[in-house]
A and B are shown apart, each in its own frame.
Chain A
Amino acid sequence: MADIEDTHFETGDSGASATYPMQCSALRKNGFVMLKGRPCKIVEMSTSKTGKHGHAKVHLVGIDIFSGKKYEDICPSTHNMDVPHVKREDYQLTDISDDGYLSLMSDNGDLREDLKVPDGDVGASLRTEYDAGKDILCTVLKSCGEEVVIAVKTNTALDK
């Protein structure tokens, strides 16, 4: 368990801890947890015990919210696990620069240009939709000091 307790991520802006402790038994499926030092979404959770009269242990399977890698851990249910603060924010896409950076505008009008076009299908569709002049909303996932665009949504007239 040492590797987890040693890894506390500090976010650059606020100075607050990137994680907070939570008793293992209070975690839940589809929630978040730090596994092997990475922020993960819990996709499987089961309990077991050591010996018939032993105490409960929680077996966790999680998927790294940024890389999609799978991690596992097992922990006595009385112990604390680190839970990452996970924030998601929506931005309006205003421009895509030639070197592949996005210009994003938040609800309150702040502009940022430090995030890249996501890889793969989502990135490709983002470009086509943008070139077609559509109104695009990007969801930015932020946790443990990392940030990435995880979803794009094309606003249709209906949604407005």
Chain B
Amino acid sequence: MSAQAISELEAAAQIIMAPPDIVSNEQRHSAESIFLNFRKSKSPYGLCREILENSQNQYVMFEAAEVLKGAIIREWSFLLDTDRSSLRQYLVQYITSHEVPHFVRDRIIQVIAIMVKRTSIDDKGKERAVILQEVENLIINGESEKKLLGCYIITNLIQEYATTVKSADVGLPWEVHFKAKKQFEATDLKRIFQFCVYLISEVVKNDPPYDGIMAQLTRHLLQITERILTWGNVSAILPKRLIGIYESVYESDQSCALKLSSAWGEVMFNPEFLPLMFQIYWKVRDVDELAHHAMTCLVQLATLSGAVVSNVPNRVKYLHSYLVNFFKLVSNVTIKDKESLGISSIVRKIVMFYVGDFYKLPEPLIHDTLLDEVTRLTCLFCEGAVREDADPDADRFFSESLENMLEAWNSIYHDFHQITDESITSCGMRIFNKYVQCHLAQPDGIRIPDTGGGNNVDEDIEDNDRIKYKEQLQIVGLFGRCVLSHSLPVLFKILEARIASLLSHLLVMQHRAMTVNEAAVLDSIYEDIHWAVLISGHVLCMESDGETAVIPADIMRYSIEQFKNGKVDKDDSVDALVYVDARPGLPDRAEYLDHTIRVAFNVLRLCAIEDLAVSMKLGHLWSPEVSSSLMWFMKRWYRTYLLIPLDNYFNEVGYVFWSCLEKDSDCTQIQIEFIINKIAANLYNFQSEPVVLKDTVAVFSDAICTKRKVPYIIKTEAMAKLISLAENLQPGSLPSEVLRGLYKGFVSAGVYITSSSEKNKYYETILNPLRLRFKNIITQENFAKVCQDDQVQKVVIDLLECLIGIAKGSQMASVDTLFDFLSPILAELPVFLTFYKDYQVIVQLILELFGQCAKYMLCYLRPLDSKKLYESSLATVQAYAKCNGNRLSTETFAEESSCQDLSLVLDVFTCILSRDCIELFQATNQRELVRVTAADVALFGLNFIMPLMTLELLKFPNLCAQFYHLLVLINDIYPEKIANLPQDMLASLLKTIELGLTDFGNDIAHTALDFIHGMSIYVFRSKVQDTPFGSAVKAFLKLTMDLALSHQFNSDMMSNVSATIYCLICSFEDEYQMLVQTLIHLQSDPLVAERLSEAFENLIQGVCWTNQRDYRLRFRNNFEKFIANVHGFLLVK
């Protein structure tokens, strides 16, 4: 019988492995079904043993191992103890005595590991200890091949215990997995570790290169050691979800800290242990595949924490030993690129975990070695990073290492500089100098000239330097502020020297074309300037996102000091800033300028030179990268320094900053005019440089968001000019986001004008021209004819962009003014949309405008105004639906276009809905009764676009997600609106939800479950079980249960599934009982039916159907066990 079965399987395997041209599809299918049936066979142990013994077909052998695995998991509880242990012994004996292909061997070892784990749950690991003993003997005494086999078994065992949340062994609930893990951790993990350490100490007695088996064994040992050191020692108190994150973090290569109990002290504090680990690394560092594992061990050891190091003397001793060994390593080797990553990670982690203990170390170690070595390494990696930057194809090892080192410095600086300020300062100066040097061209610096001048830089994908190197720059800025008397002169000297070269270049270029060589020199000047500006910006200003920017205290102190020492002159400093626009050269008495002012003055001077270059028709030679960096600097300068308030900052009379930067000084006013003029100039001059424009608008947006400063800006002449420039630009000359940003800025600024008449006047200046422009368009007699005219379209597009900007800039204080302006225009838009129905750009802008109005204005609007907005929105969507319903297009891009449009429509409704969550409008005496709620609008609107939402369109993942989220949102806020939908609408809605459960992937299924959950809560609370709505909801009970039983939901979703099912049972208990009975009756195998019925009984143990929290939680736990159990024995197709 079995011989026949085996030969049948072998024949099938041959068909499956045959090349496609030899066998037919039917043959292949029938062969596959033979194996599928084989996998489902009950008690296949005898057959599998026979296959392993007798079959020569590797595929069949592999399948046999696979079938064994499935059967063991499924039938474990039915097996007798003797059967289990004889099977396990057989398998161990089998792999030690047979030569089998590695994939068969691996699978069999996995089966053994699963069996060991299963047994250990019952016998508390007694048997496992015996097996480990056997394996250890095997590794020590066995022949070379057997040694490796032993390592495989240990590796698999560890793997089997390591993951609990996503364990391959699905037959157990998570709690049991976790308990097994903890038990293994407490008893055998340390034992294995000690065993490995012992073997490693044997390995280091030999010098590399190691021969084949030795190398393999070493690799296994290091891997096991690494695995134990990266073991997720998570506390048992954490919830499952967090533990799941820990476990997946391990897989993603970002291991968590080495946190050990005090029992590990004897291993970790053994004086020979750390030297051994460094020694093995030293020996294998030239062998890539070994070095990596050894390095990970060292990195993990740098994170030793937990109870084991709670005793301070031990802790410090460990740290001391670690550092001594570490410095011995790094001072004796030439660090290779890949290696730098490990070394820098060690520094970063040891600082992260031990910085507080540094001062407890013996003095010389800190001063002479620690700081010095860390500084040396930082500078070394900085140089390496420069080399990598010059080669676009190079891996970024040193660059990443530099980041690690600088991150470490951040902690060292903050936790440590009070203790040993002087040493830190000198380290800071070394690193600052190195960093500056690395970014300057030769001869001043060591930057490698850019040879790939023609390389394309993709601006939409690649970050620019100030984003890419932000963290680095911040820390370098910090170091710069430690040594201001050094760093500021370095910076202004670089700027001044480069500006001088730039000016002479520009003068030459006015008369003749550049040579190739000159162009390269010019590029190099730009690069130097660019970096000098970036570094200056970071030294002068600290990051201030979300808080008030203040002048760094170090800079204040330094400025006062210079003034007191009589080294600077207040008037010279003021003059330099005031006349920066008038003369491109350096003032005669430059040496009397305050150093901070002198740096800023040079950057302002660069802005003036940029305008000069454009006016000399040399704009095409100017670097847009530099323009962007200049604008970035302006933003920071304005934010931190300009218009400093009178109080609390200053107590020194006659102080230089006071005259240059104080809010009422002429000098400040001139700088503000300068900046706003510069913004206008850029908008005019750099229309073809989108990135420069973006940074320019960023300066403007930033400038008008500080309440205190806005009035000073609004009253400038430059601002009036800027507004008029924006109005009079040729339509289409600014990119969409720039135009929007500008108008957003204009209207936001108005909020801070105190006098209401002035405020109105200000808004009129901005809004009136737009109103006129709109009126001129729509009142044209022949509008229907000329609307397709390209010039008219351009005007319409620009206008809509401005309106979107205005909507985005609305705030509570301005919303009434702005909505009074917008509302008549919005009311015209449905008609407008019909005119432009074939012009997608305009259609989308109209839809977007409504979305933005709903998002930024609706929550502040008075009820009557809201109603107006609802009406216009609905009418617009209706117009859209009317134009596009029943329409078939031949355009290739039609589907994507509809997807974009509908996504905007959904945005409108989503934003409108949030109105019912947040209402901030100012209460007035108006007692209008507006009965329309946002949910009505959304549902009514959805009704318009439902016919357009085809199944094809829902296959666009974003649109699909947006659509389902909207449905859930409506359901969350207003379930009763859903319940009372007309029958046909309800039916189509529920059909959509049903599709969502199965057709669009996990995320959408999740959302659909949320929806069902929401509905079932509503049904339960309002007792509408017997309505048509109730019975529609009832249908989901069977559906969800079926899907859960047939593995259609992934394990992450189980808690949502259980919550939904629980809630449904609360309303439909009878239905549930019937469902259970049907399911049990459907089982043909009485054993399975019995287990299923038992499982269902356990499922409702201790649960009442009252929708109370504790019952709900109990059901959740039961359900998880239920699913783990049932999935084990129930084979559902």
Bind each other: yes
A51 touching B455 by the CB < 8 A rule? yes
B732 touching A22 by the CB < 8 A rule? yes
Contact with A along B831-849 (1 / 0, CB 8 A): 0000000101100100000
Residues in chain A near residue B838, CB distance under 8 A: 88, 139
Residues in chain A near residue B889, CB distance under 8 A: 122, 150-151
B690 interface neighbour in A29, A77, A150, Cβ under 8 Å: A77
- The reply on B426 being an interface residue by CB < 8 A is no
Tell whether A23 pairs with B450 under 8 Å between CB atoms, given A55-B620, A56-B459, A68-B891: no
B841 touching A26 by the CB < 8 A rule? no
Which residues of chain B (781-795) have a CB below 8 Å from chain A?
A: 788, 790
- The reply on A97 being an interface residue by CB < 8 A is no
B790 touching A68 by the CB < 8 A rule? no
A56 interface neighbour in B452, B624, B893, Cβ under 8 Å: B624
B890 interface neighbour in A30, A54, A122, Cβ under 8 Å: A122
Min CB gap A153→B, angstroms? 4
A47 interface neighbour in B450, B459, B840, B900, Cβ under 8 Å: B459
- The reply on A37 being an interface residue by CB < 8 A is no
- The reply on B955 being an interface residue by CB < 8 A is no
B457 touching A83 by the CB < 8 A rule? no
B624 touching A122 by the CB < 8 A rule? no
Min CB gap B457→A, angstroms? 5
Residues in chain B near residue A23, CB distance under 8 A: 687-688, 733
Tell whether A53 pairs with B890 under 8 Å between CB atoms, given A23-B688, A30-B844: no
A48 touching B459 by the CB < 8 A rule? yes
Chain A interface size range: 35 or more
- The reply on B136 being an interface residue by CB < 8 A is no
Residues in chain A near residue B887, CB distance under 8 A: 151-153
- The reply on A159 being an interface residue by CB < 8 A is yes
A46 touching B458 by the CB < 8 A rule? yes
Q: Give Cα A76–Cα B453 distance, bound, in whole angstroms.
A: 16
- The reply on A31 being an interface residue by CB < 8 A is yes
B456 touching A48 by the CB < 8 A rule? yes
Residues in chain A near residue B455, CB distance under 8 A: 50-51
Q: Give Cα A150–Cα B889 distance, bound, in whole angstroms.
A: 6
Residues in chain A near residue B459, CB distance under 8 A: 46-49, 56
B886 interface neighbour in A48, A118, A156, Cβ under 8 Å: A156
Which residues of chain B (814-845) have a CB below 8 Å from chain A?
A: 838, 840-841, 844
B890 touching A52 by the CB < 8 A rule? no
> What are 30 A-B residue pairs whose CB atoms fall within 8 Å in the complex?
A20-B790, A22-B732, A23-B688, A28-B841, A29-B841, A46-B460, A46-B461, A47-B459, A48-B459, A50-B453, A50-B456, A51-B454, A51-B457, A53-B527, A53-B623, A56-B459, A56-B688, A56-B689, A56-B690, A68-B892, A83-B790, A120-B890, A122-B888, A122-B889, A125-B888, A148-B890, A149-B890, A153-B886, A156-B885, A159-B886
Residues in chain B near residue A119, CB distance under 8 A: 890
Among residues of A, the one whose C-beta sits closest to the C-beta of B734 is A26
- The reply on B564 being an interface residue by CB < 8 A is no
A56 touching B790 by the CB < 8 A rule? no
Closest 6 pairs (CB-CB, A-B):
A68-B892, A53-B623, A88-B838, A77-B688, A151-B889, A153-B887
- The reply on A85 being an interface residue by CB < 8 A is yes
Q: Give Cα A65–Cα B889 distance, bound, in whole angstroms.
A: 12
Min CB gap B890→A, angstroms? 5
Q: Give Cα A118–Cα B894 distance, bound, in whole angstroms.
A: 15
A51 touching B453 by the CB < 8 A rule? yes
B458 touching A48 by the CB < 8 A rule? yes
Q: Give Cα A154–Cα B947 distance, bound, in whole angstroms.
A: 14
- The reply on A63 being an interface residue by CB < 8 A is yes
Chain B: residues with Cβ within 8 Å of the partner, total of 49
- The reply on A25 being an interface residue by CB < 8 A is yes
B891 touching A65 by the CB < 8 A rule? yes
A77 touching B841 by the CB < 8 A rule? no
- The reply on B526 being an interface residue by CB < 8 A is yes
- The reply on A6 being an interface residue by CB < 8 A is no
Residues in chain B near residue A148, CB distance under 8 A: 890
Which residues of chain A (90-134) have a CB below 8 Å from chain B?
A: 118-122, 125-126
Residues in chain B near residue A25, CB distance under 8 A: 687-690, 735
A118 touching B624 by the CB < 8 A rule? no
Q: Give Cα A155–Cα B736 distance, bound, in whole angstroms.
A: 36
Q: Give Cα A26–Cα B736 distance, bound, in whole angstroms.
A: 9
Among residues of B, the one whose C-beta sits closest to the C-beta of A68 is B892
Among residues of A, the one whose C-beta sits closest to the C-beta of B793 is A31
A30 touching B841 by the CB < 8 A rule? yes
B888 touching A49 by the CB < 8 A rule? no
- The reply on B936 being an interface residue by CB < 8 A is no
Min CB gap A90→B, angstroms? 9
A26 touching B733 by the CB < 8 A rule? yes
A151 interface neighbour in B460, B527, B891, Cβ under 8 Å: B891
- The reply on A41 being an interface residue by CB < 8 A is yes
A53 touching B523 by the CB < 8 A rule? yes
Min CB gap A141→B, angstroms? 8
Q: Give Cα A77–Cα B624 distance, bound, in whole angstroms.
A: 12
Among residues of A, the one whose C-beta sits closest to the C-beta of B838 is A88
- The reply on B1052 being an interface residue by CB < 8 A is no
Residues in chain B near residue A83, CB distance under 8 A: 790
Q: Give Cα A146–Cα B892 distance, bound, in whole angstroms.
A: 17
Residue among A55, A119, A159 with the most chain B CB within 10 A?
A: A55
B888 touching A43 by the CB < 8 A rule? no
Min CB gap B621→A, angstroms? 10
Residues in chain A near residue B888, CB distance under 8 A: 121-122, 125-126, 151-153
Residues in chain B near residue A48, CB distance under 8 A: 456-460
Q: Give Cα A159–Cα B885 distance, bound, in whole angstroms.
A: 9
Residues in chain A near residue B450, CB distance under 8 A: 51-52
- The reply on B961 being an interface residue by CB < 8 A is no
B844 touching A28 by the CB < 8 A rule? no
A151 touching B890 by the CB < 8 A rule? yes
Among residues of A, the one whose C-beta sits closest to the C-beta of B464 is A52
Residues in chain A near residue B687, CB distance under 8 A: 23, 25-26
A78 touching B688 by the CB < 8 A rule? yes
- The reply on B569 being an interface residue by CB < 8 A is no
Q: Give Cα A87–Cα B790 distance, bound, in whole angstroms.
A: 10
Contact with B along A60-98 (1 / 0, CB 8 A): 000101001000000011100001010110000000000
A50 touching B882 by the CB < 8 A rule? no
Tell whether A31 pairs with B841 under 8 Å between CB atoms, given A23-B688, A85-B790: yes
Residues in chain B near residue A34, CB distance under 8 A: none
- The reply on B626 being an interface residue by CB < 8 A is yes
Q: Give Cα A52–Cα B527 distance, bound, in whole angstroms.
A: 8
- The reply on A33 being an interface residue by CB < 8 A is no
Residues in chain B near residue A149, CB distance under 8 A: 890
Q: Give Cα A40–Cα B841 distance, bound, in whole angstroms.
A: 14
Residues in chain B near residue A121, CB distance under 8 A: 888
Residues in chain A near residue B790, CB distance under 8 A: 20, 83, 85
Tell whether A26 pairs with B732 under 8 Å between CB atoms, given A56-B691, A83-B790, A151-B889: yes
- The reply on A144 being an interface residue by CB < 8 A is no
Q: Give Cα A70–Cα B797 distance, bound, in whole angstroms.
A: 26
Residues in chain A near residue B458, CB distance under 8 A: 46, 48
Among residues of B, the one whose C-beta sits closest to the C-beta of A151 is B889
Residues in chain A near residue B453, CB distance under 8 A: 50-51
- The reply on A35 being an interface residue by CB < 8 A is no
- The reply on B357 being an interface residue by CB < 8 A is no
Q: Give Cα A150–Cα B926 distance, bound, in whole angstroms.
A: 51
Which residues of chain B (63-101) have a CB below 8 Å from chain A?
A: none
Residues in chain B near residue A122, CB distance under 8 A: 888-890
B788 touching A87 by the CB < 8 A rule? yes
Residues in chain B near residue A43, CB distance under 8 A: 893, 896
B736 touching A28 by the CB < 8 A rule? yes
Min CB gap A25→B, angstroms? 4
Contact with A along B506-532 (1 / 0, CB 8 A): 000000000000000001001100100
Residues in chain A near residue B688, CB distance under 8 A: 23-25, 55-56, 76-78
Q: Give Cα A55–Cα B453 distance, bound, in whole angstroms.
A: 12
Residues in chain A near residue B530, CB distance under 8 A: 53
Min CB gap B948→A, angstroms? 12
A154 touching B460 by the CB < 8 A rule? no
Contact with A along B688-700 (1 / 0, CB 8 A): 1111000000000
